[in-house]
């Protein structure tokens, strides 16, 4: 499969899903690269006006209500017709404590509708946004009783999956939803022989001006249980969007890709947590008694996709 540099081969693409932050940056990136883009109507008039002010939007950005209703399979087929690619973005699940469990079935069914519709509409490639949380939650990696020596060498890569039973036992509904959804999507895509590429981003921060302790603290504030046990990695949304467009265009791209800019060290994270919650004890998994994890995005880097690693500053 190839989506090359221009012309008729990449005339129309569609952006679906309910993750407004990523969707808006995908629209920017796709318009910059000359695509004609179909997308769900933004929730606010101000956001719609801002996006329509982007260069090329008046000529090449088309709003469609059909892309928003993932339960309407027939409408998805209609809106996907003529598209060489579909970008499906669902809300992130890094905040493991606030995902409504009743949404799991809807997320799975909606994504399966997208996969089926892409197949029937002869879409060349589906770019699905999943999450790193579909990889990291496993009893063996997240147990404080496992000796550090036995866990330290375990590298989290694209072969890893979160354990469904473990997620259920810990009521980790967000990671459970992402894992179930991605596994179901892969099963159907293979059955339909659909070319699908999946990006598994780490924690997604807002647009990159600078990466500050304040931005990470704002993300963590109010979270009852911190994301990935013993692991805090992030990527900025504009870099994620650029990585997704690149992975869509590169013919050799296949399978899953972990996407992150930087892993925050345990010492840095402990310091941030102590400043954010001075009267709360630091979770043991972020102390020296916790199990250190190793994360790699080597597979993504082999596609030539790189990020400029930003330092965390005090502001």
- Domain 7-313 CATH assignment equals 3.40.50.720: yes
What pLDDT, on the 0 to 100 scale, is given for residue 1?
46
What pLDDT, on the 0 to 100 scale, is given for residue 213?
58
What pLDDT, on the 0 to 100 scale, is given for residue 275?
74
43 burial (CB, 10 Å; 0-12 / 13-18 / 19+) is exposed
Active site residues: 178
Measured in degrees and rounded to the nearest 5, phi and psi for residue 174 equal: -65, -55
pLDDT tens-place string over residues 102-146:
999 999 999 999 999 999 999 999 999 999 999 988 876 655 544
- Of the listed ranges 114-118, 182-186, 261-265, 271-275, the least confidently predicted one is 271-275
Residue scoring higher pLDDT (228 or 84)? 84
Cβ atoms of 52 and 29 closer than 8 Å = no
Which residues in 204-241 are b (16+ Cβ under 10 Å) and which e? bbeebeebbbbbbeebbeeeeebbbbbbbbbbbbbbbb
């Amino acid at each position: 499969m190839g989506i090359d540099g221009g012309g008729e081969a990449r005339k129309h693409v569609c952006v679906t899903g309910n993750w407004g932050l990523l969707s808006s940056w995908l629209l920017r990136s796709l318009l910059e690269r000359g695509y004609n883009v179909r997308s769900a109507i933004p929730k606010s008039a101000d956001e719609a006006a801002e996006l329509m002010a982007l260069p090329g939007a008046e000529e090449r950005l088309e709003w469609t209500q059909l892309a928003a209703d993932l339960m309407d399979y027939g409408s998805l087929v209609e809106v996907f017709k003529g598209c060489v690619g579909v970008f499906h973005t669902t809300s992130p699940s890094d905040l493991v404590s606030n995902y409504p469990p009743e949404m799991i079935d809807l997320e799975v069914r909606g994504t399966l509708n997208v996969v089926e519709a892409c197949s029937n509409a002869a879409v060349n490639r589906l770019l699905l946004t999943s999450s790193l949380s579909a990889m990291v939650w496993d009893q063996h990696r997240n147990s404080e009783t496992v000796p550090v020596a036995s866990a330290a060498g375990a590298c989290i890569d694209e072969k890893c999956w979160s354990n469904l039973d473990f997620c259920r036992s810990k009521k980790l509904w967000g990671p459970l939803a992402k894992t179930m959804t991605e596994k179901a999507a892969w099963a159907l895509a293979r059955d339909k022989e659909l070319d699908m590429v999946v990006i598994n981003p780490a924690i997604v921060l807002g647009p990159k001006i600078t990466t500050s302790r304040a931005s990470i603290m704002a993300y963590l504030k109010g979270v009852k249980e911190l994301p990935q046990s013993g692991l805090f990695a992030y990527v900025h949304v504009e870099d994620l969007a650029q990585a997704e467009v690149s992975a869509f265009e590169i013919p050799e791209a296949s399978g899953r890709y972990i996407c992150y800019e930087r892993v925050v060290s345990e010492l840095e994270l402990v310091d941030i947590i102590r400043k954010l919650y001075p009267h709360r004890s630091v979770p043991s998994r972020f102390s020296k008694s916790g199990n250190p994890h190793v994360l790699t995005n080597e597979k993504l880097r082999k596609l030539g996709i790189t990020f400029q690693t930003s330092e965390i500053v005090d502001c």
